Amino acid sequence: MIKLRDIDVVFHDEDRVVTAVKDVNLDVEKGEIYGIVGYSGAGKSTLVRTINLLQRPTTGTVLVNGQELMGLNARELRQARKKIGMIFQHFNLMESRTIFENVAYPLRGSGLNKKEKAAKVAELLSLVGLKEKTDAYPNQLSGGQKQRVAIARALANDPDILLCDEATSALDPKTTSSILDLLRELNEKLGLTIVIITHEMSVVKDLCHKVAVMENGHILEQGPIVDIFTEPNEQLTKEFIDTATHFDQEIGMVLAHPETQKLNREGILARLRYVGVGTTQPLISTLVREYDVTVNIIYGHIEILQNTPVGNLLVAFTGESENIKKAIEFLKQSDVKVDSVSDLLEEFVTKED
Ligand SMILES: Nc1ncnc2c1ncn2[C@@H]1O[C@H](COP(=O)(O)OP(=O)(O)OP(=O)(O)O)[C@@H](O)[C@H]1O
Ligand SMILES: [Mg+2]
């Protein structure tokens, strides 16, 4: 659906040359929700704006729906852009016009008559749950409602793609979550392909199928969110994931607890991680039964990512060390990652002495 190839965007600012995007390749499939994360200045907005050529790349190609956008003339590009909606952090509504007029605005020149336009706007407003606000003005709406109007407006020409640049950054957590629900619903109901820029990994976790992590104009890492969340390769990705899961902090607090310290002296602490295994329960009981070890689950956290359970457990093994070794081997063979917690112990426990 969207294919970006070898994209560079270079700005010439007075005496400075800024390479905002460098060597980017990105594929977004139809019906996918694709997240772009990165710190401020990473190049996220610049990159996403190349998808509808709001920003022309310095080099590279932009293919949308099989069409090479850079080769289109002005009229063809206007047509192509109608199929790519966009929403922003600050909604960009026209304050002096009613909600109806804001949503109807992209329909000028659509060939629809007055009655058809009114029907289309009513349909869009009911899709975003704002039918009763037709005659209100933007300043009479909350931030979340304004973003809903912006979404309705962006969908006026039945686009295949919706680009969202920090669309929830100005909203509180509850409103953010209701806007994410709406985006998910639009994705499922209309098959809308969504590219969403955010600096919040929790947004990615709750909504996206895939994610790309950007730094200094480059994409450092990209892929399905279950893969990225369970096996991040880059330090920056790990940082972002930690902000969404808080797992390291939580496990650190548990490790620092005197009871955990006692278990640490008596046995072996380990961190177990697994993806998609229905549950570790049968595994744990097998360990106890077959290997004659005791397994204490000290902390457990299960995330559901894209309908896939992703488990993080902190356990203490006690028993004969030969048995513990065999038990750990068995876990590894059952696709459970078993890691030592020494790095976390160091970070969270010894520091406090
Ligand atoms: N029109 C422009 N002219 C010159 N430099 C620009 C222009 N637009 C962006 N830049 C620079 O390109 C880099 C990437 O900017 P961009 O806005 O894409 O980052 P971002 O990841 O969206 O950041 P934020 O999270 O703050 O929105 C920055 O260094 C920025 O200053
Ligand atoms: Mg930006």
Top pLDDT among 289 and 103 is at: 103
Q: Is the pLDDT of residue 173 over 70?
A: yes
Residue nearest to atom 11 of ligand 1 (CA): 20
Q: Tell me the pLDDT tens digit for each residue of 46-75.
A: 999 999 999 999 999 999 999 999 999 999
Query: Per the structure, how many domains does the chain have?
Result: 2
240 in any annotated domain: no
Decide whether any atom of ligand 1 lies within 6 Å of the 333 Cβ.
Answer: no
The mean-pLDDT minimum among 29-38, 220-229, 251-260 falls in 251-260
Centroid of ligand 1 to alpha carbon of 70 (angstroms)? 21
Looking at residue 277, its pLDDT comes to 64
Residue nearest to atom 13 of ligand 1 (CA): 20
Clarify whether residues 43 and 71 are in a common domain: yes
Centroid of ligand 2 to alpha carbon of 246 (angstroms)? 25
Looking from the CA of residue 217, the nearest atom of ligand 1 is 14
Looking at residue 278, its pLDDT comes to 57
Query: 253: domain CATH number?
Result: 3.30.70.260
Query: 179: domain CATH number?
Result: 3.40.50.300
Residue nearest to atom 18 of ligand 1 (CA): 43
Q: Which two tokens stand for residue 329?
A: 């081997």
Clarify whether residues 310 and 193 are in a common domain: no
Decide whether any atom of ligand 1 lies within 6 Å of the 311 Cβ.
Answer: no
Q: Is the pLDDT of residue 353 over 50?
A: no
Which bin fits 84, alpha (ψ -120 to 50), beta or left (φ > 0)? beta
Average pLDDT estimate for 94-104 = 97
Clarify whether residues 165 and 139 are in a common domain: yes
Clarify whether residues 224 and 155 are in a common domain: yes
150 in any annotated domain: yes
Looking from the CA of residue 214, the nearest atom of ligand 1 is 21
Clarify whether residues 187 and 272 are in a common domain: no
Q: Which domain holds residue 150?
A: 2-231
Average pLDDT estimate for 131-147 = 96
Residue 115's pLDDT band (boundaries 50, 70, 90)?
Answer: very high
Looking at residue 309, its pLDDT comes to 85
Please name the residue that has the structure tokens 């629900």: 181
Q: Is the pLDDT of residue 219 over 80?
A: yes
Looking at residue 20, its pLDDT comes to 97
299 in any annotated domain: yes
DSSP state of 231: S
Average pLDDT estimate for 160-185 = 95
Decide whether any atom of ligand 1 lies within 6 Å of the 40 Cβ.
Answer: yes
* Domain termination residue (choose one: 231, 265, 280): 231
293 in any annotated domain: yes
Average pLDDT estimate for 223-246 = 89
Clarify whether residues 226 and 253 are in a common domain: no
Average pLDDT estimate for 212-227 = 96
Looking at residue 307, its pLDDT comes to 83
35 in any annotated domain: yes
Question: Phi and psi dihedrals of 183, rounded to 5?
Answer: -60, -40
Question: Phi and psi dihedrals of 303, rounded to 5?
Answer: -105, 145
Top pLDDT among 296 and 146 is at: 146
* Strands 294-305, 308-318: pairing kind: antiparallel
Looking from the CA of residue 39, the nearest atom of ligand 1 is 25
Decide whether any atom of ligand 1 lies within 6 Å of the 38 Cβ.
Answer: yes
236 in any annotated domain: no
Q: Which two tokens stand for residue 36?
A: 């772009």
Residue nearest to atom 10 of ligand 1 (CA): 20
Residue nearest to atom 30 of ligand 1 (CA): 41
Residues with CB under 5 A from ligand 2 (ion): 45
Decide whether any atom of ligand 1 lies within 6 Å of the 43 Cβ.
Answer: yes
Clarify whether residues 305 and 209 are in a common domain: no
Average pLDDT estimate for 314-328 = 91
Per DSSP, the residues of 104-163 read HGGGTTS---HHHHHHHHHHHHHHTT-GGGTT--GGGS-HHHHHHHHHHHHTTT--SEEE
Looking at residue 260, its pLDDT comes to 84
238 in any annotated domain: no
122 in any annotated domain: yes
Decide whether any atom of ligand 1 lies within 6 Å of the 96 Cβ.
Answer: no
DSSP state of 49: H
Top pLDDT among 45 and 253 is at: 45
Looking from the CA of residue 44, the nearest atom of ligand 1 is 21
Clarify whether residues 190 and 111 are in a common domain: yes
The helix (run of H) or strand (run of E) holding residue 76 is helix 74-82
